[in-house]
Amino acid sequence: MSYEIVIGLEIHCELKTKTKAFCSCRNEFGAEPNVNVCPGCLGMPGTLPALNKTAVEYCIRAGLAVGCKISRYSAFERKHYFYPDLPNAYQVSQLEYPLCIGGGLTLDSGKFVRLNRIHLEEDAGKLLHGPYGTRVDLNRAGVPLIEIVTEPDLRSADEAVEFLAKLKSALLTTGVSDCKMQEGRLRCDVNVSVNKPGDKWGTRIEMKNLASFSAIKRAITYEAKRQMDELDKGNTFVQATRRWDDKDGKSYPMRDKETSNDYRYFPDANIIPINVEPSYVESIRKTLPEMPWELKERLQKELGLSEYDARTITSDKAYSDLYLNVLKTFNEPKFVLNFIMGEVFKKLNALGQDDIEIPLKPEILAKLLKLYHGKTIAQATARELLDEIWESNADPEQIVKDRNLAQVSDSGALEAILQKLVADNPKAAEQLKMGDPKVNQFFIGQTMKATGGKANPAVVLEVLNKIINK
């Protein structure tokens, strides 16, 4: 029996403000536990929150980037639940009056995925489980977060991952967050249901706090299949939260509707609602940078890139930053693009990171590409050097000089090698004389071997033709 899969995402993204959402403690990742805390974010009685204006600005900025309508009136609610990492026993969040409403992003297929809202809230602390028991680090308590909620418009694990990658790239571009999934700065709750085509939608199951693209893909695939199997057996189920265990590759029951939290939301009387002036919104809109989809159009128009190439190179900010910055000192758009999408991507694929980081500086890559483009070095050398300079950022020109890696384009030197190869391989030489171009490769390959990959293939062919036609 075939089923349709329905997916909606709730994405939490920590904002890159200097201080926390409601106090002046530093918002900093990786500090010693419990150094960035004050009576306010520790939930001491008698303290009062003071809203961080930059957090509001960043939330609006994110909203504008993805086409949200910005609310004129916005307010904060307390969401109550008990957990050791939440000193107040409530989280300040937004329910009735979120800052941003609607908006969405277009997938490569042309499908538009709608957002329901983006709202501002605070993060909780972190539990540290260790050999001496569990301890709590409250550095993160009160760090501003935006929660981005999609409509249930996604229909496959691949669509969900593509959407999240696009959203991440948009958020990175706006500069409101560094979106590091590895550091938990971008986390995703996944809602999944399945139904038979034509039927009404199934009951959604939520899996919380997924922290990598691969986990999201695996979790959706597993959970959809599990639900289909249940329905095939004639079982039904209730709306519930399940825990995704990425090591096991399975989801486990956590709580269902009956045992679920009643958050007892009510307005936070200590934080006055925000009146968002349209002129303020416009002033933020004016500072929005070029978004990835705008850059994509520009690269097609200005540099003549194909739709596919432009889309690929703008699919992550790390790629497009590298590309544009290499072009600043070495303006060969097609050549640079091919090298990045070939060699650099190969290297990144092997690393398999969710948060793409390229240690190689663009100006160093530009130097390498100049050497390769100008045929000073052969392709094999360019590849090897890429590995070598990837982290060290050593000067490729210097390496080529020091180690004598320049390509052999000297026809005299190549002629001696080829003379010998022709003499040693009379059969191949004969085939070449008969005009069989397949043997070219053989001679190029042998010359490469003799020169340690440094022979310039074009010159090899030239010299070879001269010898054969003598």
Binding site for ligand ADP (CB under 6 A): 6-10, 149-152, 191-193, 201, 204, 206
Q: How many residues bind Mg ion (CB under 5 A)?
A: 1
Among 34, 38, 180, 468, binds Zn ion (CB under 5 A): 38
CA distance 96 to 76: 8
Q: What element of type H or E holds 191?
A: strand 186-195
CB closer to Mg ion, 59 vs 188: 188
Q: Check binding of 125 to Zn ion (CB under 5 A).
A: no
User: By C-beta, is 200 or 427 nearer to ligand ADP?
Assistant: 200
For residue 436, count CB atoms less than 10 angstroms from its CB and return exposed for 0-12, middle for 13-18, buried for 19 or more. Answer: exposed
Pattern 7-46, Mg ion, x by CB under 5 A: ---x------------------------------------
Helix (H, G, I), strand (E, B) or coil at 160: helix
d(CA 81, CA 124): 11
| Closest separation in Å from C-beta 84 to ligand ADP | 22
Question: Which residue's Cβ has the minimum distance to ligand ADP?
Answer: 8
Is the Cβ of residue 29 or residue 237 nearer to Zn ion in the bound state? 29
Name the nearest CA neighbour of 7 among 196, 207, 153, 201.
153
**149 touches which of ligand ADP, Mg ion, Zn ion, none (CB within 5 to 8 A by kind)?**
ligand ADP
Q: Per CB under 5 A, does 154 bind Zn ion? A: no
Amino acid at 313: I
**Residue 150 interface partner, choices ligand ADP, Mg ion, Zn ion, none, CB cut-off 5-8 Å depending on type:** ligand ADP
Tokens of 383: 């590849």
Applying CB under 5 A, which part among 19-27, 91-99, 143-151, 343-351 lies near Zn ion? 19-27
Q: How far is the CB of 42 from Mg ion (least distance, A)?
A: 27
Candidate list 6, 13, 21, 23; residue touching Zn ion; CB under 5 A: 23
Query: Among Mg ion, Zn ion, ligand ADP, none, what binds residue 23 when CB lies within 5 to 8 Å by partner kind?
Result: Zn ion
CB atoms under 10 Å from CB of 283, counted, come to 11
Find which of Mg ion, ligand ADP, Zn ion, none residue 51 binds, CB within 5 to 8 Å per kind: none
Q: Which of 428, 416, 414, 421 is nearest to 461 (CA)?
A: 414
Residue 36 or 94 with smaller CB distance to Mg ion: 94
Q: 51-88 burial string, b = 16+ CB within 10 Å, else e?
A: bbebbbbbbbbbbbbbbbebbeebbbbbbbeeeebbbb
Taking the least distance from each CB to Zn ion, the nearer of 22 and 319 is 22
φ, ψ (nearest 5 deg) of residue 108: -60, -30
Longest alpha-carbon distance in the chain:
98
Tokens of 11: 């994405």
Binding residues (CB under 5 A) for Zn ion: these are: 23, 25, 38, 40-41
Binding residues (CB under 5 A) for Mg ion: these are: 10
